């Protein structure tokens, strides 16, 4: 039996190089060998209360970016999460088997709750777990953490289990959610003595997972970090971002170790350039003849060679509203067929039957 693959990206903004190398380009590669299902997680985006106009625009732009990067609706089922009403019903049913304690202990909840309450990071000695808990249930603050944020892992588990997916390609930050999904599946199966849900695992692409760094010297590229190169960045904007990337004073002695900002530039170069170009600049770094300006110019052009065809296709695809509507209608039909079957089975198992 072919693996059922499922993954989604929240509709919280345009896709960046991190999303592309960490997720989208991999989705494209596995389309021919697996039963692939890719969706836009707009219900998950609601947990941070986005502007409604913006949310709608983001769903459309991510769909166009999916298609422009090579997701093929003839090979993969591509859909919008909110087009599958069965997900909302199963979310209610599954929540009855999920503990608030285990949800409160997830790393992403603590992190997002901290942000929603305006607390700093625990490393800063600010907002330890007890403080967060007191603030969440306390009445001394008018800031609140919405219940959707708490039950985010239930919703994600439902996305996966309702399709009976077996492989879920996600980044490292999502592995805890996948672990919870397995736990919920196991718990449901054993509580009712059934074998309804398979336990999904991460998709093993071989090799180390990609972490695309930002251009600001440290950490990963991410929307909330404000350090992104977007797939649809205009060439002028993109060149400017790359030229402004943080570096250092340059190597003083042959074969010096690299500082993090410079190593990050090399990581990006390795992702986008040819091996010749990479080894040319590595050599220049090693013998101290490197000029970071040249490296950045080359890097900008090589990134543009990847993003330009995507950007151009995005513009065409966005202009074709009826095509976009057709893709998600067709995707929703397929995704709903499986979802409604699973929901029917689940209702029956739980004793929700017509009189």
Question: Could you list the residues that contact ligand TRP (CB under 6 A)?
Answer: 6-10, 41, 44, 156, 159-160, 168, 170, 174
Contact 156, 181 (CB under 8 A): yes
Residue 218's binding partner among ligand TRP, ligand ADP, none (Cβ under 5 to 8 angstroms by kind) is none
DSSP character string of 45-65:
HGGG---HHHHHHHHHHHHHH
What is the three-class DSSP state of 99?
coil
Shortest approach of ligand TRP to residue 41 CB, angstroms? 4
Q: Which does 159 bind (CB under 5 to 8 A by kind): ligand TRP, ligand ADP, none?
A: ligand TRP
Query: Cα–Cα distance between 278 and 255 in angstroms, integer?
Result: 16
| Side-chain half-sphere CA neighbours of 212 within 13 A | 25
Read off φ and ψ for residue 38, nearest 5 degrees: -125, 135
Instruction: Closer to ligand TRP by CB, 109 or 266: give it.
Output: 109
* Catalytic status, residue 75: no
Q: Is 217 in the site for ligand ADP (CB under 6 A)?
A: no
Total chain residues near ligand ADP (CB under 6 A): 18
What whole-number distance in Å separates Cα of residue 192 and Cα of residue 323? 43
Q: Which does 23 bind (CB under 5 to 8 A by kind): ligand ADP, ligand TRP, none?
A: ligand ADP
223 assigned to active site: yes
Nearer to ligand TRP (CB atom), residue 160 or residue 180:
160
Q: Which does 241 bind (CB under 5 to 8 A by kind): ligand TRP, ligand ADP, none?
A: none
**Residue 133 CA: distances (Å) to CA of 83, 116, 137:** 34, 13, 6
Answer yes or no whether residue 223 interacts with ligand ADP by CB under 6 A: yes
Q: How far is the CB of 314 from ligand TRP (least distance, A)?
A: 21
- The catalytic residue among 75, 220, 297, 334 is 220
- If DSSP states are collapsed to H, E and C, what string results for 220-241? ECCHHHCCCCECCCCHHHHHHH
**Considering 60, 110, 112, 241, which one is annotated as catalytic?**
112
Distance CA 307, CA 326 (A): 25
Instruction: Decide if 220 is catalytic.
Output: yes
Interacting residues with ligand ADP (CB under 6 A): 9-10, 18-19, 21-23, 170-171, 173, 210-212, 220-224
Residues known to be catalytic? 112, 220, 223
């Amino acid at each position: 039996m072919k693996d059922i693959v499922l993954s989604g990206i929240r509709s919280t903004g345009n896709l960046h190089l991190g999303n592309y190398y960490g997720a989208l380009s991999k989705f494209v590669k596995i389309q021919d060998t697996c039963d692939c299902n890719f969706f836009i997680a707009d219900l998950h985006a609601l947990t941070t209360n986005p502007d409604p106009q913006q949310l709608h625009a983001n769903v459309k732009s991510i769909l166009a970016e999916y298609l422009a990067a090579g997701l093929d609706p003839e090979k993969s089922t591509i859909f919008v999460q909110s087009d599958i009403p069965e997900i909302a019903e199963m979310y209610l049913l599954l929540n009855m088997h999920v503990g608030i304690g285990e949800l409160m202990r997830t790393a992403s909840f603590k992190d997002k709750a901290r942000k929603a309450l305006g607390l700093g990071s625990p490393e800063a000695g600010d907002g330890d777990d007890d403080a967060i808990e007191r603030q969440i249930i306390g009445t001394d603050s008018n800031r609140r953490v919405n219940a959707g944020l708490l039950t985010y892992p239930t919703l994600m588990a439902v996305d996966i289990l309702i399709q009976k997916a077996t492989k879920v390609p996600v980044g490292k930050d999502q592995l805890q959610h996948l672990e919870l999904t397995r736990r919920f599946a196991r718990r449901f199966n054993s509580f009712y003595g059934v074998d309804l849900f398979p336990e999904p695992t991460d998709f093993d692409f071989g090799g180390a997972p990609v972490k695309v760094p930002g251009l600001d010297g440290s950490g990963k590229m991410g929307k909330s970090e404000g350090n992104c190169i977007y797939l649809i960045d205009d060439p002028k904007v993109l060149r400017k971002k790359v030229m402004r990337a943080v570096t250092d004073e340059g190597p003083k002695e042959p074969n010096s170790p690299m500082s993090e900002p410079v190593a990050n530039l090399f990581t990006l170069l390795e992702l986008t350039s040819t091996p010749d170009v990479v080894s040319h600049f590595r050599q220049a770094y090693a013998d101290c003849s490197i000029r970071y300006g040249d490296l950045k110019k080359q890097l900008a052009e090589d990134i543009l060679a990847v993003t330009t065809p995507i950007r151009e296709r995005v513009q065409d695809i966005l202009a074709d509203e009826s095509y976009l509507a057709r893709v998600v209608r067709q995707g929703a039909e397929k995704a709903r067929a499986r979802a409604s079957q699973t929901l029917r089975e689940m209702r029956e198992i739980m004793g929700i039957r017509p009189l």
